[in-house]
Structure 1
């Protein structure tokens, strides 16, 4: 059994999108371990005296639709009164004991593949600040963020997958560092290969940021980080950008990477970017 719980504050004002994104974010923890979600419970914090219950109904509808899409059953949940809306799921899944995937098995010679773009954190903040178009966010960003990671993991499990993590609040470098620590290996990132959401770099260039970038930078700084190419401050910030319902970071033998990329794209996964590799050496990260 896999048991996990996660909830978030609204990244967008639309309650249905909020429900979908939060549910996909919660379910992703089961997928990232190679599991299949079976049941889910709603976790709700809501200011019922300040906000209309019709908004909550839409949040729950979005969450339920995503649970059904995942092939799981929403079995109930619990709610409390709170000053700010928060929503998520407690998800129960199953996985064969011999097929559990963790973030601790990456090996030297592995390729790294990422299945969603980066930069959602700054785009959410910029949209709230009126600096980024909500229409563009809904068209180019939210459908990918709300997409389940199930299809990507189903294809990845057909290969010799050594490690996996979903890229969420710690940003790309934070989660890659966890993978490096778990395997006692070194992560190498090819910056030119990284996929970014349209507008993310521009928002950092214009001074937008998130409340997590500074902490994510401090987290990564505990281990050696070598940046071997010239990057602007805005380009660097994208490496620490916190993701909500981010993609999977997959480590598998480099000989299998190209085939997996083709399978992911054929399955409708939005991105299948080979962003780097795992090497031997001291735990840490190199950006090239």
Structure 2
């Protein structure tokens, strides 16, 4: 079996964060989560909210962050699959305003169908991202199963005062996003053999870009809330932020950035099936999304950017931080007082 003949994306129906359990199904699975809500007072962030990671207080000035994230291949190249899965897993810690300290790998591999040596290449991709993030890949666990799956369990640290949940937005806060959208569309184009080489390069660039900027945002008091955009699309994650803060998000649709080339694929109706899954889950909580705009709002992202709620009085200071750290971000809207609709698009 020659490695170059293997297309990892052909071994599973979903790919990347697009293979998440549908929101409605997940809600039914977690229906009784509040019955065990925060039984330990040191569990600062647990299963009572739909946040990116759990946070447990160790001392007055130290809390531990833990998250688990894994998925099926979003690209055919084993090394890039490992890099993307690793960067995506680390993002959960950065989205809480924290710093990852080590990771353990989670690997499922169909050893009868795919050369086990390729699993080693996947691990090398994950190890490279850990090296770039300055943390060790400390260990892991592996099984044999029909689908290739890879991801991390990540442990991080944060000062309790610096924790950024997805529920902390305040009325008037500005909403920024740190990456353009469209990774799900490009991954679908790849799976259908429709992607252009330059668009594949763009996809890999954004999908492997580590969201380490979240650690820096954790130190900013005027950043009130944060989350990363993943499998539920920007619409789903905006709904979680708005509902968690009991506010409404007013979004300027034309300000939401797309990766170069993505619109061309949308025009050809190339996008993930789970785009409709997200639309069915969240359309009733939004208004103003017209026609094919739903693809932009519901495209499942893998290692997407951070959504950041910023005090409007400190907009210039926030933009100065972005400039100093050479981080791009787009202003896409603001949080307003609660209305009947969670997301209003104009």
User: Normalized against structure 1, the TM-score is what?
Assistant: 0.93
Contact 1:152 1:264 in 2 (8 A): no
Instruction: Output aligned runs, 1:151-230, within 5 Å.
Output: 151-155=213-217, 157-223=219-285, 225-227=286-288
Which runs of no fewer than 5 residues in structure 2 stay unpaired? 1-63
Alignment RMSD, CA only? 1.6
Output one character per residue of 1:66-118: Cα deviation in whole Å (capped at 9) or x when no partner: 11211222111010011121100000111112221100011111000100010
- C-alpha separation in 1, matches of 2:331 and 2:219: 17
**1:262 to partner: Cα distance:** 3.9
- C-alpha separation in 2, matches of 1:175 and 1:31: 16
Question: Are 1:274 and 2:274 counterparts?
Answer: no
Number of residue pairs aligned between Structure 1 and Structure 2:
282
Question: Are 1:27 and 2:90 counterparts?
Answer: yes
Instruction: Output aligned runs, 1:113-132, within 5 Å.
Output: 113-132=176-195
Moved more, 208-217 or 22-31: 208-217
Contact 2:251 2:344 in 1 (8 A): yes
**1:235 to partner: Cα distance:** 2.4
Contact 1:113 1:250 in 2 (8 A): yes
User: Normalized against structure 2, the TM-score is what?
Assistant: 0.78
Instruction: Output aligned runs, 1:130-141, within 5 Å.
Output: 130-133=193-196, 135-141=197-203
**1:34 to partner: Cα distance:** 1.0
Output one character per residue of 1:38-84: Cα deviation in whole Å (capped at 9) or x when no partner: 11100000111221222111110110111121122211101001112
- C-alpha separation in 2, matches of 1:174 and 1:108: 19
**1:141 to partner: Cα distance:** 2.3
Which runs of no fewer than 5 residues in structure 1 stay unpaired? none
